[in-house]
Amino acid sequence: MSTRSRRSGPRVGLLLTGILLVCGACGGGGAPPDYTAEELEAAKARLRDHARLRTFEAGKLFGDEWVARAPHDAELRGLYAYQLVGWGLSREVHEQADAILADDPDNPWGLYTKAYALLVDGEAKPAHEMALKAWEASPQPEFAFLYPRALVRDDFEAARAFLVSLDEETRTWPEVLRMQAELESAARYELDDPTWADSSRATWAEFKERFPNHVLGYTRLANEAYNARRMDEWTLLMEAALELAPGSLEVRSQHWRGLWMSELLPREERLPAVEASMAAYREAIPETVEGLQGMASMYREMDGEARAAELEAQIVESDPGSYHASLVYVGETRRVGRELFEIYEERGEDSPEYRAQLEVVRDAAYRFLERPLYSDVFKGGVYLDLFRALEAMDPVPAEELAEAIRGMAEFERLNPHITYGDAPLAMIDHTPYALEAADLVREGVPIMLERVTESRDFFDTEGEFDQALRSSVSGIYDVIGWAHFKAGHTEDGRHTLERALAIADRNRDARYHLGQVYERLAVEAEEEGDAEAVTEWLDQAEDSYIAGFGAGRGENPNQTALEALYERRNGGREGIEEYLATLDERDRIRRRDRILESRVEAAGTYEPFQLARLDGDMVDSADLEGKIAVLHFWGTWCGPCVVEMPEYQKLDERYRDDPEVQVLSISNDRTNDVIGEYLAKNDFDCTVLVDDNYVDRAGVNAWPTTWFVDREGYVQFVQIGTALKLDEEFSWRVEAIREDTSSP
C-alpha cells in the first residue's frame, strides 16, 4: 500500500471548479461558487497553518466562513473539524462528519472526522477502527496521526508497530514525527522504562529543528524544561512559541501558568506579567468564548475571582447554551462543592456551617440541571455531587436521594465504584427501593469489571490483579446481598453475603452486613424460643465483626456493631475496653506478620539521586550509605498522600535523632511554594526533597510509594499506596532491617 498523499493539487482543483461552473450555468443547480480553486486550496492551507500553530480560536472563525462558502468540500470540512476539536466541541465535530458522510458514506475525510468526534467522546476503539479505514482509503498526514493516537488507548504496541511500518517518505511528515515523540513519552509508563523520556525529548528536539514553524516543538520542549526547573531554557522556548503563535490560547495558557506558578519572577511581579501576556493575546485575535474561558480559568488559578466572574458572565450572555457556558455552569457547582469540603476540613460535618453548605450544594446542582446545557457530559458529576450532599443531610430526603442515584446510573461513568457501590448502598439504607438498588448494581456489573480490567497495567503481579478483581466482585455480591436482606429476604441476603466473603474474606462491609444478618436471625430464633440458636447466631455475628475489625482506614462499622453487640450480650459496657484491647492486639499481630512477610524476594538497589531540599541544600543518596533509609514519594496533589501525612510526620519525628536511620520524602509538586505553603499550613517540618524528574528516572509511577532501604543500598520493602497505620507499620519495617544488619 502506498503511503504517499493523494490530496488533489491546484490543477485538479481548477478542473473541478470549471466543471462546477459549467454545471451551474447549464443545469440551474444553484449559484456558482464565490471562490476560485486557488482560493479554496489556500483556505485549506490556512486551516493547516492554524493546526500547526495551535491557533484554534482564529481557526474556527476562519473555518466557519469557508465551510459556509464551500459546504461540499470534504477535506475543507475535515480540516475545519480539527479546529473544533481544539475547542472541545464534540457535537459540532459530529455534525461536520455527518455532513460529509451524508454525501459519501465512504469518504475518507468523513471517516477521519467521525473518528475524531468519537475520540473526543472517549470512544477510542470505534475511533481507531474508523481512522484506519480513512488511512487505508487515502493516506493523509492527518490520518497518520489520528489512527495511532486513537489506537494507543487500546493497544500501545500496535500503535508503535504502525509507525514502524510506514515508509521513509511518510515518516518525514511532521504529523508522524509528532506521534513518534508522543508514543515515546507514553512508553515510559507503558513499558515502565523512564529512559523513554530522553528518547521523547530527543525526538521533539529533532521535530523543532526540522519543522521550525510548528509551535509544538517549542511548547513540548518548554514543558520538559519547566518540569526540570530549567527556567532560562523555558523562557527562550516560550518566547519562540509566542512569536510564532501570539494568538494561540494553548501556547498562552502554558505561558501564563509558567509565569504564575514558577519562581521565575518575584511573587509581586507574577500577576502583572500574566496580565500583560493576556493583553497581547487579546490584541492578536478577535474575542472568542474559547479565549474568554481560558483567561477566566487562569484568573481562577490566581484567585482573581471577580475578574473570572466577569469573563464568565460574558460567555453566558454571548451563548447560554454553548459548550463554554456549560463549563461556567459546572464550575459554579464545583466551587460550592470545594467550599463544602473546606468547611468539613475546618469545622467538621456536625457544624452548622457544614449543614448549611449542603443545602447550597443541593441548590447549585438543581440549578445546573435546569440550565440549557450543551450536552449531558457534565450531568454525571453533578448528580454525584447532589448524591453526596443529600446522603449527608439529616434527615436524608429519601425521594430526592433516589432520583439523584437514578441520575447517576444514567449519566455517571467515571466512578463506577460509587455509582454501582456507594450509591446503591445509600439507596438501600435510606429509601424504600432496596431491590431497585440491586438491579442498578446488576446493570453496572459489566462497567465495573471493565474498569478493573482496564487497570491491569497498574498491578505488578497477576496475584495483585486477581485480588483487585476479587475485591470488585465481592463488593457486587455485598450490595446485592444487603439489598435482599433490607427488603426482607433474609435467607437470600445471607447466602449472597456469604458468597461475597468466599470471594474476598477481607471485605469489611460484607463482614458488617453479614453480622447484621446473623443478629436478625438471632432475633427470629429468640421469637421462636430457641435459646441455643440465639447463642449460635450471635456468636457468628461476633466472629463476623471481629474479622472486619481494623480492616481499613477511617470509621469502621464493625467496631460500632461489635460494641453494641457486647452491650447486648453483657447488659452494659463494663469490661468492654479490655475486650476491645484484646481484639486490637490480635489485629496488630496479624498486620505485623503480613508486613514482615512482604519483604522483597530479590532485593535490588535504586537509582542514585542528588536532590535539593526546600532550603536549596543538596542531598546525595551516596550519603545514605551505612544507614537505613526510608524514601517516601508523595505530592500535595495526591489525596491519599495528604491523608497520611500527619502519620508520616510522626514517623519522621520518631527517627529524627536516630543516627542509624534517615527518613526522606520526595515531593512531586510543581513548585517549592506549593510544598512550603502546605507544610506551613499543617505545621509539618519533615525533610522534603524536590523532585527534578527523578521519579521518572527511578520508575516511580504510583503515589504514595515508599522504599525501605538497608545499609548497603538494597530496597528490602516497598509500600505502594497508603498504610493503615503508617507510623507503626513503617517502623516495623525499619526495625526488621535494623535487626538483620549490624551497625558499621
Is 55 among the domain residues? yes
Q: Any idea what the CATH number is for the domain that residue 719 is in?
A: 3.40.30.10
Asked, for residue 274, whether it belongs to a domain, the answer is yes
d(CA 256, CA 253): 5
Domain count within the chain: 5
95 assigned to some structural domain: yes
56 and 138 within one domain: yes
Q: Looking at the structure, do residues 324 and 221 belong to the same domain, yes or no?
A: no
Q: Please answer whether residues 214 and 174 qualify as being in contact, where contact means their C-beta atoms are separated by less than 8 angstroms.
A: yes
Tell me, what's the pLDDT at 721? 83
Using CA atoms, how far residue 528 sits from 308, 463, 516, 532, in Å, is 68, 46, 19, 11
Q: Please report, as a single letter, which amino acid is at residue 98.
A: D
3-state secondary structure 39-69: HHHHHHHHHHHHHHHCCHHHHHHHHHHHHHH
- Say yes or no: 137 and 13 in one domain: yes
Residues 23 and 94 grouped into a single domain = yes
Beta bridge partners of 54: none
In the chain (744 residues long), the average pLDDT of successive 10-residue segments reads 33 34 40 89 97 97 96 96 95 97 96 96 93 96 95 92 94 95 91 89 96 97 93 97 97 97 93 97 95 96 95 96 96 95 92 96 97 94 97 96 97 92 96 97 92 75 68 94 97 96 87 96 96 94 83 71 93 90 77 89 90 92 94 86 89 95 92 88 92 90 91 94 86 94 55
- The model carries a pTM of 0.72
Domain final position from 278, 301, 316: 316
Domain that holds residue 288: 216-316
Residue 426 covered by a domain: no
Q: Is 465 a domain residue?
A: no
Are 172 and 277 within one domain?
no
Alpha-carbon distance of 93 to 585, in angstroms, equals 61
User: How many CB atoms are located within 10 Å of the residue 202 CB?
Assistant: 12
Of the candidates 442, 439, 382, the one whose C-alpha atom is nearest the C-alpha of residue 415 is 382
Give DSSP secondary structure letters for 153-183. Answer: TT-HHHHHHHHHHS-TTGGGSHHHHHHHHHH
Q: Sign of the C-alpha dihedral, residues 580, 584, 590, 591?
A: positive
CA–CA dist 331, 620 (Å, integer)? 44
**Cα(191)–Cα(159) distance, integer angstroms:** 14
Per-residue HEC secondary structure of 623-640 comes to HHCCCEEEEEEECCCCHH
User: Could you tell me if residue 277 is inside a domain?
Assistant: yes
**618 and 698 assigned to the same domain:** yes
In a domain, 525, yes or no: no
Cis bond upstream, residue 646 (ω within 30) = no
Residues 6+ away with beta carbon under 8 Å from 458: 702
Domain boundary among 283, 316, 349: 316
Same domain? For 253 and 330 the reply is no
Residue 584's region, left for phi above 0, alpha for psi from -120 to 50, else beta, is alpha
CA–CA distance, 459 with 712 (Å, rounded to integer): 28
Distance CA 624, CA 629 (A): 7
The rounded distance, in Å, linking the Cα atoms of 403 and 408 is 9
Residue given cell 489525596 in the structure block? 639
Do residues 293 and 402 share a domain? no
Closest among 529, 530, 526, 522 to 565, alpha carbons compared: 522
Pairing of strands 628-634, 661-667: parallel
Helix (H, G, I), strand (E, B) or coil at 302: coil
The Cα 512–Cα 497 span in angstroms is 10
The backbone torsions φ and ψ at residue 565, rounded to the nearest 5 degrees and listed phi first, read: -65, -40
Note whether 207 and 224 are same-domain residues. no
pLDDT score at 725: 83
Q: Which of 316, 334, 366 is the last residue of a domain?
A: 316
Helices (H), 285-431: 289-301, 305-318, 323-347, 352-369, 379-391, 398-411, 416-417, 423-430
| 120 and 166 share one domain | no
Beta bridge pairs of residue 663 = 630
Q: What pLDDT, on a 0 to 100 scale, did the predictor assign at position 463?
A: 52
* Rounded Cα gap, residues 161 and 157, in angstroms: 6
Q: Do residues 383 and 422 lie in contact, with contact meaning Cβ atoms separated by under 8 Å?
A: no
**Residues 137, 93 share a domain:** yes
Residues 122 and 160 in one domain: no
Contact 643, 604 (CB under 8 A): no
- Note whether residue 249 is domain-resident: yes
